[in-house]
Amino acid sequence: MPQIHKKIKSISFGVFSPKHTVDLAAAKIVTPELYDREGYPVDGGLMDIRLGVIDPGLRCKTCGGKLKECPGHFGYIELARPVVHINYIRQVLDLLKSTCKFCSRLMLPDITLKKYSALLAKVAEEEGIDARRQKLREITSKYKIKDKCPHCEKKQEKIKIEKPYNFYENEVRLSAIEIRARLEKISNEDLDLFGMDVSTGFRPEWLILTVISIPPVTMRPSITLESGERSEDDLTHKLGDVVRINQRLFENINAGAPEVIIEDLWDLLQYHITTFFNNEVPQLPPARHRGGQPLKTLAERIKSKEL
Ligand SMILES: [Zn+2]
Ligand SMILES: [Zn+2]
């Protein structure tokens, strides 16, 4: 296989659509089990050899390459229930607050929108997209004080967030399913006004995850200790929790378990996926090794990379 050398100038982070996440993946991960009795990676487990190989003597089932030949391949997990993406809480809150609960339109009369569109464009140009969103929120909140949608005239309720990721409308918690359904209904025209780049096909409901991408095995290799025992990478540890709770949630939903049990597991899934992305969220206890030290997950890993 030829060696490719590239100099990376910058990396930008975005959100993939659920479809793209699945299309990109070489395998769907469905079991928390890693190895069978012979120590061979289990099919559908996090070390599945379709995601790449780290053992000499094994061949990747996706590209046929051996250790050091195979670059590794992404996998995915289908979530039993959607969860909020911790990196986009602010954007989700802004959208929920600025749009009508009933007709999903931006909470501004069309005539006002026209009036402010030049100002918004100017703010975007001079101070960036975040400032534009902030400005739009200020403008819409003035109208929301009236409690009524200018389009359908229905009364609105107060939306707030309890950090890190619980949304409330009045005193009622909004589930990720409900939030996702609301985001789905916002039109591309309104999103454009909101300063979101819809030209790439981006949709805000992607900020509520229904699938998550699994990094290749080669990105999280296990090491073999002197005792012959394997020691797994922190990401694999964390993903193991995600898969375990997700499968338990699937089973309980299918078995018709009481809603309290399902909600507890759903909350736990939200916690594990959040700490997979970022294990230093201020309001959350970090996920730890048995020995007590916090796991290093995605955000901590990216921070420690020097470009
Ligand atoms: Zn491969
Ligand atoms: Zn409305």
What's the CA-to-centroid distance between 219 and ligand 1, angstroms?
Answer: 12
Ligand nearest to the CA of 155: 2
Write the CB contacts of 99 (distance below 8 Å, at least 6 apart in sequence).
105, 106, 107, 182, 186, 190
Ligand nearest to the CA of 48: 1
pLDDT for 144 equals 57
Partners of 84 in the β-ladder = 208
Write the CB contacts of 60 (distance below 8 Å, at least 6 apart in sequence).
49, 50, 52, 53, 66, 69, 70, 73
Q: Which residues in the chain come in under a pLDDT of 70? A: 1-13, 143-146, 305-307
- The rounded percent of the chain whose pLDDT value lies above 90 is 66
pLDDT for 306 equals 58
Domain boundary assignment for the chain: 86-207, 233-307
What's the CA-to-centroid distance between 202 and ligand 1, angstroms?
Answer: 29
What's the CA-to-centroid distance between 8 and ligand 2, angstroms?
Answer: 46
pLDDT for 296 equals 94
Write the CB contacts of 111 (distance below 8 Å, at least 6 apart in sequence).
none
What's the CA-to-centroid distance between 255 and ligand 1, angstroms?
Answer: 37
Q: Which candidate, 183, 165, 8, 157, places its Cα nearest to that of 85? A: 165
Ligand nearest to the CA of 69: 1
Q: How many CB atoms lie within 10 A of CB 196?
A: 20
Ligand nearest to the CA of 147: 2
Q: DSSP H helical segments within 145-233, as ranges?
A: 176-184, 188-193
What's the CA-to-centroid distance between 108 and ligand 2, angstroms?
Answer: 10
Phi, psi of 213 (to 5 degrees): -85, 140
The structure's pTM equals 0.89
Asked if residue 25 lies in contact with residue 213, where contact means CB atoms within 8 angstroms, the answer is yes
Please tell me whether the peptide bond between 164 and the residue prior to it is cis, using omega within 30 degrees of 0: yes
What's the CA-to-centroid distance between 50 and ligand 1, angstroms?
Answer: 7
Q: Which candidate, 76, 57, 82, places its Cα nearest to that of 67? A: 57
pLDDT for 131 equals 86
What's the CA-to-centroid distance between 46 and ligand 1, angstroms?
Answer: 14
pLDDT for 246 equals 98
pLDDT for 137 equals 78
